[in-house]
């Protein structure tokens, strides 16, 4: 018979009391949603947070699945500095994957974990208003080549309307939001999910923004996870090229969120069972906490 570690519960209790009634925006990507067992395990941890009184808002992308479907359809996938270039064909794939398969899979896992969840995208209820990102001169961090990049149907967020989100969490539903947005004419845009999560967390003045990915946190040049980082520390690590690839948009979104009112941002490995609960309910945590 398994024994109950009472000390674990004692350590968690003050955190449960502290965060009850607070808003957590939890973002995870396609890696977590790709495996049924991993997704269910992560959703069970979300369920526990919800059931102890934390107001949970989920944001998700699905770049891995979008790339896989694009390849099956013979559509070339292109990214630069961790950002996806979205032409018209790719936008159709993103719509199908983000607002379709992945969103429904997450709802199913949350339902199995006992959580009443509602699937949305940023288009629903005018949650996200965006406009087309203009062409930009970008230095490819992998090649060092300077080029003008047209990101296609990639949007920059101009406004967040959180009324629908508040309505749902006030009634104990968990909103599950796919990272799509629209402009006033109804044009749909693909928006980086980290950016979406940070914008929603800022608008709601969330206690925490949690980004669950497939790495253990932000690592230094020696590949050691940094348990805590300040904004200045992140700037120094980017300048030293210790942070690269897809981690760059994550820490950029995290930095912006902290500067605009989110208490702390946490980058954790959503593939590891228990990582979310350890990060939220223990002093040592399990990933990287970013704060002022």
180-182 and 23-28 beta bridge pairing: unpaired
Asked if residue 280 is part of any domain, the answer here is: yes
Distance, CA of 86 to CA of 92 (rounded, Å): 9
Residue 54 CA to its chain's centroid (Å): 17
255 located within any domain:
yes
Q: How many domains does the chain have?
A: 1
Query: pLDDT tens string for the chain (292 positions)?
Result: 455 567 777 888 999 999 999 999 999 988 899 999 999 999 999 999 999 999 999 999 998 899 899 899 998 878 777 677 899 999 999 999 999 999 999 999 999 999 999 999 999 999 999 999 998 888 877 777 888 888 899 999 999 999 999 999 999 999 999 999 999 999 999 999 999 999 999 999 999 999 999 999 998 888 899 999 999 999 889 888 888 777 888 898 899 999 999 999 999 999 999 999 999 999 888 999 999 8
Q: Is residue 262 part of a domain?
A: yes
* C-alpha–C-alpha distance, residues 77 and 90, integer Å: 8
Beta bridge partners of 189: 181
d(CA 87, CA 65): 17
Angle at 116 between CA 168 and CA 100, to 5 degrees: 85
Residue 234 lies in a domain: yes
**Which residue in 8, 45, 36, 10 sits closest to 269, CA to CA?**
45
| In-domain check, residue 144 | yes
- The predicted pLDDT at position 189 comes to 97
In this prediction, residue 142 carries a pLDDT of: 73
CA dist 156 and 199 (Å) reads 11
Instruction: Burial-class residue 88 by CB neighbours within 10 Å (0-12, 13-18, 19+).
Output: exposed
Per the domain annotation, does 240 fall within a domain? yes
| C-beta atoms surrounding 225 within 10 Å | 17
Handedness of CA 150, 155, 157, 158 (dihedral sign): positive
Q: What are the E-state strand segments in 71-140?
A: 78-80, 83-85, 117-121, 128-132, 136-139
Q: What pLDDT shows up at residue 1?
A: 45
**Residue 147: what pLDDT?**
85
How far is it between the farthest Cα atoms of the chain?
62
223: domain CATH number is 3.40.1160.10
Contact 223, 217 (CB under 8 A): no
CA distances from 225 to 42, 194, 292 (A): 21, 20, 18
Answer yes or no: is 4 within a domain.
no
Q: Is 41 exposed, middle or buried (0-12, 13-18, 19+ CB in 10 A)?
A: buried
Tell me if 5 is assigned to some domain.
no
What was the pLDDT predicted at 82?
Answer: 67
Residue 73 is part of which domain span? 23-291
């Amino acid at each position: 018979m398994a024994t109950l570690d009472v000390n674990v519960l004692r350590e968690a209790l003050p955190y449960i009391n502290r965060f009850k009634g607070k808003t957590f925006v939890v973002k995870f990507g396609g890696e977590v949603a790709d495996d049924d067992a991993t997704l269910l395990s992560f959703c069970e941890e979300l369920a526990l947070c919800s059931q102890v009184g934390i107001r949970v808002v989920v944001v998700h992308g699905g770049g891995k699945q979008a790339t896989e479907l694009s390849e099956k359809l013979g559509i070339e996938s292109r990214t630069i500095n961790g950002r996806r270039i979205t032409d018209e064909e790719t936008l159709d794939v993103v719509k199908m994957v983000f607002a379709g398969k992945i969103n429904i899979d997450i709802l199913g896992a949350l339902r199995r974990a006992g959580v009443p969840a509602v699937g949305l995208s940023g288009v629903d209820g005018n949650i996200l208003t965006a406009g087309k990102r203009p062409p930009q001169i970008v230095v490819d961090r992998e090649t060092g080549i300077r080029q003008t990049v047209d990101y296609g149907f990639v949007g920059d967020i101009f406004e967040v309307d959180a009324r629908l989100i508040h309505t749902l969490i006030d009634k104990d539903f968990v909103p599950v939001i796919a990272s799509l947005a629209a402009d006033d004419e109804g044009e749909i845009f693909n928006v980086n999910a980290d950016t979406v999560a940070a914008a929603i967390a800022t608008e709601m003045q969330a206690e925490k923004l949690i980004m669950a990915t497939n790495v253990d946190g932000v690592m230094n040049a020696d590949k050691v996870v940094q348990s805590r980082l300040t904004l200045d520390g992140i700037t120094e690590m980017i300048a030293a090229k210790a942070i690269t690839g897809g981690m760059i948009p994550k820490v950029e979104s995290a930095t912006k969120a902290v500067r605009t009112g989110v208490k702390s941002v946490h980058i954790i490995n959503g593939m590891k069972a228990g990582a979310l609960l350890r990060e939220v309910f223990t002093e040592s945590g399990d990933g990287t906490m970013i704060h002022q």
